[in-house]
Amino acid sequence: MKPAFMTRSLAAGLAFLTVTFFAKNGFSQDPNFYIFLAFGQSNMEGWASSSGKNNQIEKQDTTNVPERFMFLPAVDNGSRKKGVWAVAKPPLCRSSTGLCPCDYFGRRLVDSLPQAIKVGIINVSVAGCAIEMFDKDKDRAYIGSQADWMKNIDKQYGNKPYGRLVEMAKLAQKDGVIKGILMHQGESGSSTGNWKSEVKKIYTDLIKDLGLDSNKVPLLVGGLTSDSKNNKDASLPWDLVKSPRTISNCYVVSSIGCPVNMQDDGMGGLHFSGAGYRELGKHYADSMLVALRKLGTGPTPVIDKKIQSGAVAANGLELKTTSSSVFFKIPQRGFVSIKAYTLGGKEIAEFAGSEFSAGNHTVQIGQNSIPKGIFILSLRSGTAMVTRTFVGSR
pLDDT number for residue 363: 86
pTM for this prediction: 0.74
Residue-wise pLDDT tens digits, 138-176: 999 999 999 999 999 999 999 999 999 999 999 999 999
pLDDT number for residue 324: 74
Give CA–CA dist 33/69, Å, rounded: 10
pLDDT number for residue 310: 42
Give helix 101-112 / helix 274-294 axis angle, nearest 10°: 50
Give CA–CA dist 92/100, Å, rounded: 7
CB proximity list for 12: less than 8 A, separation 6 or greater: none
For strand 271-272 and strand 86-87, is the pairing parallel, antiparallel, or unpaired? unpaired
Backbone angles phi, psi at 275, to 5 degrees: -60, -35
DSSP β-bridge partners for residue 389: 376
pLDDT number for residue 298: 54
Residues in the chain with pLDDT < 50? 1-27, 299-313
Instruction: Choose among 352, 330, 328: nearest CA to 340.
Output: 352
Give CA–CA dist 204/212, Å, rounded: 10
- All structural domains of the chain, each given as residue ranges with its CATH number in brackets, are 26-298 (3.40.50.1110), 301-392 (2.60.40.3080)
Give CA–CA dist 159/124, Å, rounded: 12
